Amino acid sequence: LYGTVTDYCTAQNCPIMSAGARYEYLWADGTKVKKPIRVSAPEYVDSLMSWIENQLNNEQIFPLQLGTPFPKNFTSIIKTIFKRLFRVYGHIYHSHFPKIVGLGAEAHLNTCFKHFIFFVDEFNLIDPKELAPLQDLIASLKENHAASESLVLATDDHAVSSPY
């Protein structure tokens, strides 16, 4: 999804990684960059994707051998990955949503984000305060989901009572 806006999300257009005026994200990976630093949005996303790839390829974190235990800090690592991925969604929605709409990718973005949020919610992967930049959108997605669940249940009830 981020790839659809890379032509517009440049160091000149997005000199800081943010999700609106109130949320700026600094980069630190804990190894090369220990102290959080301000970087442009494309630099943040590039660093994040490289960092995630390194995490996924690290057999100490994601063992390949059956029976090899996951590290004790596995949940913490997963939570950090999802928190940082959420920031990319926050940036896209706050800084590039009109462009996403212009490209006809709004439904795709919303669907992917909805799945992301429901997964994060199900497994408690992101602290609710971290979700603040998109809280209204998240509430709307959950409200619409609850309404459609009610409709499905009502339809299922009707189908059960039908002789056909």
Tell me: is residue 158 an annotated ligand-binding position: no
DSSP three-state, residue 144 = helix
Tell me: is residue 96 an annotated ligand-binding position: yes
Q: DSSP labels for 97-135?
A: HHHHHHTT-HHHHHHHHHHHHHHHHHTT-S-GGGGGGGH
Tell me: is residue 94 an annotated ligand-binding position: no
Tell me: is residue 112 an annotated ligand-binding position: no
Q: Residue 79's CB: how many other CB atoms inside 10 A?
A: 18
Report the distance separating Cα 137 and Cα 19, nearest Å.
13
Q: Is there a contact between 6 and 46 (Cβ–Cβ < 8 Å)?
A: no
Report the distance separating Cα 64 and Cα 10, nearest Å.
37
Residue numbers in the known binding site are 9, 14, 91, 96
Residue numbers in the known binding site for Zn(2+) are 9, 14, 91, 96
